Structure 1
Amino acid sequence: MPASWVLPILVTKNQYEMRCPQGKKTILYKKAKLEKYANYLLKDGLVTRLSVYTNNELTDLNKVQEWYENREDKLVTRIHQDGLITEDFVEGRPRSLQQHLYKANNPGPEAERTMTFFHKARVDGLCKREETPAEITEHFINRDDFLYLRHVLFGKRQKKVAPATAEGTPRPILKITEKFHRNVSRPASEDVAEQVFVLHEDKIQVTYHREDPNITASTRDFFKPPNAEEKGGNLQWANDMTSTFQVRDILMDRQKEELASELAISVYDTERNEKAKKHRKELERLAMEEKLRRQEMEMDYLAPFLAQIGNPDKINKSQAFKLKEDCLADLKQRLIDKANLIQLRFEKETSELHKRQQDYQQKQVAMTKEDEEQYFNYCSEAMFRIHILELRLNRHKQMAPHKYMQLEQKLRQDQRLSAIHSIFG
């Protein structure tokens, strides 16, 4: 086939990553709009947004689904629909949040929301937390104490005249209910199935698991004495004691993450990763220094011979004399070896040409035009190579004495061999 008349298509790495002009593309469908963005084009890591409408004019928005990549907070999708926002995360987040469902018009604490967690990554085994303004329900999996559900009921916040705090007045807890799975290592009459803390009545209700033949379960009630505060030993309440009920910390983390919108950059992405870029420049600088050092060592004619005697700080007269003789002898031997190598190649080419000429004389009558053409081409190339080798050999013979004299002059002027200067004075 004939050669193409167009230039080859060249696509740079940056152009390939942009995927389309300016790194973004919008596709319109029936009752839907799809927006695509290149990685790292948008600050928040958005790569795809699908907007679904209820009409063909694309004016009545029904649902928006967004896909993200390379986010530090591990957010991968966000769905806006029916006034609700659903965020999905991959593993690796602090507090192991997997999914967060909340109302768009009330994203703050003490509102309706559902949080799902990677329970295997959490110490407490929490897998789901459901919150409303009046209650919180937590679900657990594979806990050592067999707890699988905790329900907290809150009362109305009392209005008090007090200095304002960052967290405000905590909601009063009316009741805490905890439920446990059966622990077969203990008798059912001693294995707690449910315990209810009725705080406003200062009472704890404990219900034990039921034995198989029994119809009812054993129960036990504990009441707080009226004068318990007077006996001392009270446990002072603190915010961190109810951390399992709070979502404020998670919401504050999400707010900071959305404001920062930091993207994760691979260490192999040297264009975007500043640390990797600095590291690469440092490696290049060290490589250049090493290259210069090697060049200096190659230019230092005494370096290999000094290494043989351990690179002494001071060289005596006998060492200096031996270094000079070894250096000159090494140069002389290298010049002889190079001359012998050129001579060997010259003789090999000459012998091969002579052999081909003899074959041609013997087979000249029976040779075809193609064979003769090949022979003449070979002779032309062989004569050219022989001529070049002859020139190199003659030049080497002319330059060898000068190189020897130049090295000898450098050795005379080398301060490291100053101990033998008096010998030649």
Structure 2
Amino acid sequence: MQFNVGLCAGAASEPVIVPKHLYSPTYLLRIRRGNSFELATFLVSLLLGLGYNAYVVSGYASREQTLCDRRMLPCPYLPREKEAEPPPPSVDKSKYRPKSPPDFKSKFIEEMEARERRKVEAELEERENQRIRMITEHERPPPDRYFGQRIHAWVLLLPNLPDTSVGPASEITESLFIEPSTGVSYPPREPATGNLYLGIESIWNNRNYWVNMQNCTEACTGLEWDLSDVKLWEHFLAGEPRELRNVEDDEDEEVQVRRDFHMVMPASYVERIEIPYEDYELRYPNGKKTIYFKKCRVDLYGPYLRPDGLIERVTQYREYEYRTRTFINEYFSNRSDGLVRSDKDVVKEIVSDHYALGRKDFCKVHQYFANSSGTVDEERTIEFYAGRRFDELRRMKMNPFYASQDYENRDDRLYNRFVEFSPYSEEYVENNIHYRNLAKIVEKFHRNEELPASKDVAVREFNFVDNEIRLTYHYDVGEYTQATRTFIKPPVTERGDKLVFTPDMTYAYNPNPLALPENFDDLIEELEKLLNEEELSVMQVRKAESEIFKFLSVRAKEYSKPELEVYAFDPIRNEEALAGLMAKVEKLKAQSKRELEGKVDFLQPYFARIGNLKYLTLKQATEIRDACLNDFKQALVNRANHILREFEKCSDELENWQSALTNSEGMSKEEKESLLEKVNKANLRLRTLEVRLARHRDLASFRYNRVVEIVKSDKRLSILYER
């Protein structure tokens, strides 16, 4: 939750005057605006309620910090680039190494070349230093006539005393500054912090008021934070807690307080701070906020404020004046299509959409051009989540003249399929996504150690222009070339029940001169297999085109009319969510009823026992009816008992895990997380079993009555109801 920030002193013309009065934190919640002292008091009140050792700091800060001017600071909202891991060092395992040839190059020439390289490097370094100096000079702020005199307030966090830290407050181990207007934290001893916060006059919280007795010539970097040392910090009020005072252990506390008693900290005069959920979710004043950084603009929005779910937009510019955009990062939340981020390179006109796991197509990243018209043959790249698709497709690249598919962990060891299309199509049909003719399909496979290298296909090419099938096998041990084989495909008219194949329709190369020639029947069988594989590959290519067409159609609908998900436990929008949830429950109930109303012959197994007689006696009809109803009733009882047994078993496991989690003093962090995960899964399982049991209880009587009606209306048992 953030506020509009006013000047720390209340007026731009008098930045050195302390505000004469402060609004209370509860009033600040209503107006959503305040100066630095009011914001610091509000934040300290919240931190104290959470158990932090927090203080309001009154001191002096730089002009940029007091005015909340961050136009020359690097943007913290920019996505961090992942550093590429260095490749592992190559280890030469060869036993014998040839000697290096003698170096006949002139030493004088080498020295002259090295001198020229050093000269070029020195020129490049000088240019870079000059560029850095120009940037530094441009970013240097203008002189401030009030430097060191601008009044400002911020927040100080100190470590809690031993055995008093609870919850997240125990994570504070060193002193920390927090700017209340931005929420950014600064270590006090960092030199960069000394350029922002120039000095401290006093600090205070709900316990006391301390005056700084230390020299601030080095800003705040050299200050000590032992508040019990009166030489460093002089406390103003007596009666503070004993642990904050430097007194002897044998001194009576009451006597010491009476001797130093002259003033006590007044009681709080404000109401309890309560932030409504609507205001907390809104995050910013009016739900949106704009922040300017160096060559960067950040627009922040509250959840559900925009119909497209946008919560953050980071725009990078080429100039300091924010004129020419170069890159845009957009972040989304609660999108039903799973869109979480969109990166737009304005210069290259490339857009990359990132999706969360959960889409039906398992798309992870979709990269395309910004001026794309949404056709299948345009250049685009689609990445999928690993291990989610049945075909193990990991990446798909599409281009007007080629397509590429990358696979992982396939049983047939296929890892890439490359498709080349003909540049021109003889027959173009409007709205036909398969209009491009195939020129060739190249498939690559990993090594299969169970087969000899000369029989294990590494590359398989179906060439439709030359009417050939070309095979390239894997390298064998000690070989410098690969075995190959080429088949000339017979005409389609000669591919009947018996394939027409002659020896001149294939030729091969084998680097092993001692290899045996291939059997002619084996070659015919292999050619038939390859022709079938060619048809399957063509089907996969056309299927990929259809899949991209469907993906683009769904994506166009998602972008034109974006929908936001509303969670069932949302306290603001739960009415619509609950209505939708109840509609789903009613739909499931109706589906169960339709299943019962379907044509199911419950009596057929019982007629089969007596030989499917055409006519029944009264005794036989009565036995069949009673047996059917009793068995169905017993099945309902058995199902309920099974759910109850599972419920009791899960309850016992949950109790054991909760007991182990309670006595987890000697466990590691990983063991505790594992136990907590088991407890959460058990709770979800219990809830599921409870819902199943309630649903079974609600439908049991209806199902039984429905079966009774079906049995009663069966004409084969009409003898029971004849008068």
Task: Sort the TM-score into its range (normalised by shorter chain).
Answer: 0.5 to 0.7
CA contact (8 A) 2:341 2:355 kept: yes
2:393–2:406 Cα contact (<8 Å) kept: yes
**CA deviation after TM superposition for structure 1 residue 46, in Å:** 0.6
2:456 aligned partner, one-letter code:
D
Asked if 1 retains the 8 angstrom alpha-carbon contact of 2:318 and 2:324, the reply is yes
Aligned to 1:123: 390
Is 2:475 aligned against 1:215?
A: no
> How far apart, CA to CA, are the structure 2 residues paired with 1:266 and 1:138?
37
Q: Which residue of 1 aligns with 2:364?
A: 98
Distance 2:458 2:426 in 1: 37
Tell me, in whole angstroms, the C-alpha distance in 2 between the residues paired with 1:134 and 1:158: 11
Counterparts in 2 of 1:157 and 1:279: CA distance versus 1, 3 Å: closer
Secondary structure of the residue aligned to 1:250 is helix
Is the aligned partner of 1:244 residue 2:523? Answer: no
Which of 72, 83, 92 lines up with 2:336 in the alignment?
72
Cα shift at 1:249? 2.2
Which residue, out of 572, 576, 583, partners 1:271?
572
| Residues 157 and 169, structure 1, Cα contact 8 Å, conserved in 2 | no
Unaligned runs of 5+ in 2: 1-264, 499-530, 584-723
Aligned to 1:180: 445
Q: Contact 1:48/1:67 (CA < 8 Å) preserved in 2?
A: yes
Instruction: Name the CA distance, whole Å, in 2 between partners of 1:192 and 1:281.
Output: 56
- Residue in structure 2 matched with residue 17 of structure 1 by the alignment: 281
Corresponding position of 2:351: 85
Shift of 1:260: 2.6
Shift of 1:227: 5.0
- Residues 286-324 of structure 1 deviation map (CA, whole Å, 9 limit, x = unaligned): xxxxxxxxxxxxxxxxxxxxxxxxxxxxxxxxxxxxxxx
Instruction: Determine which structure has the larger helix proportion and give its number.
Output: 1
Change beyond 3 A, Cα 1:240–1:189:
closer
Q: Percent identity?
A: 34
Quote the Cα distance in structure 1 between the aligned partners of 2:269 and 2:453: 88
- Greater Cα shift, 237-246 or 173-182: 237-246
- Say if 1:31 and 1:56, in contact at 8 Å, map to a contact too: yes
* AA at the equivalent of 2:560: L
Q: How many residues align?
A: 280
Q: Which amino acid aligns with 1:185?
A: E
Name the SS for the 1:190 alignment partner. Answer: coil
Is the partner of 1:158 in helix, strand or coil? coil
Q: CA deviation at 1:149?
A: 1.1
Q: Which residue identity is paired with 1:110?
A: D
Matches within 5 A, 1:137-152: 137-152=404-419
The answer (yes or no) to whether the contact 1:66–1:79 under 8 Å persists in 2 is yes
Bigger Rg over Cα: 1
The residue matched to 1:95 in structure 2 has which SS?
coil
d(CA) in 2 for partners of 1:96 and 1:221?
Answer: 38
Q: Which residues in structure 2 correspond to 1:184-203 (within 5 Å)?
A: 184-203=449-468
CA contact (8 A) 2:433 2:549 kept: no
* Superposed displacement of residue 55, structure 1: 1.5
The one-letter code sitting in structure 2 at the alignment partner of 1:271 is I
Letter of the 1:84 counterpart: I
Secondary structure of the 2:420 match is strand
Q: Is this contact kept in 2: 1:271–1:277, CA < 8 A?
A: no
Q: Equivalents in 1 of 2:393, 2:400: separation in Å? A: 20
Pairwise CA distance, 1:161: 7.1
- Residues 354-410 of structure 1: per-residue CA shift (max 9 Å, x gap): xxxxxxxxxxxxxxxxxxxxxxxxxxxxxxxxxxxxxxxxxxxxxxxxxxxxxxxxx
Greater shift in the superposed pair: 52-61 or 6-15: 6-15
Residue 270 of structure 1: how far off its partner (Å):
4.5
Q: Helix, strand or coil for the counterpart of 1:94?
A: coil
Aligned position for 1:261: 562
Q: 1:21 to 1:111 in 2, by over 3 A?
A: same
> What are the equivalent positions in structure 2 for 1:38-57 lying under 5 Å apart?
38-57=302-321
Given that 1:47 and 1:69 are in contact with CA atoms closer than 8 Å, whether structure 2 keeps it comes out as: yes
SS of equivalent to 1:242: helix
SS in 1 for 2:387: helix
Go from structure 1 to structure 2 and tell me whether the alpha carbon gap of 1:277 and 1:90 turns closer, same or farther (over 3 Å shift). closer
Using a 3 Å threshold, how does the CA distance of structure 1 residues 244 and 158 change in structure 2: closer, same or farther?
closer
Determine if contact 1:103/1:112 at 8 Å carries over to the other structure. Answer: yes
Question: Partners in 1 of 2:425 and 2:581 — Cα distance?
Answer: 61
Q: Partner letter of residue 250 of structure 1? A: F
Change (3 A) 1:208 1:228: farther
With over 3 angstroms needed to count, the CA separation of the structure-2 counterparts of 1:37 and 1:217, relative to structure 1, is: same
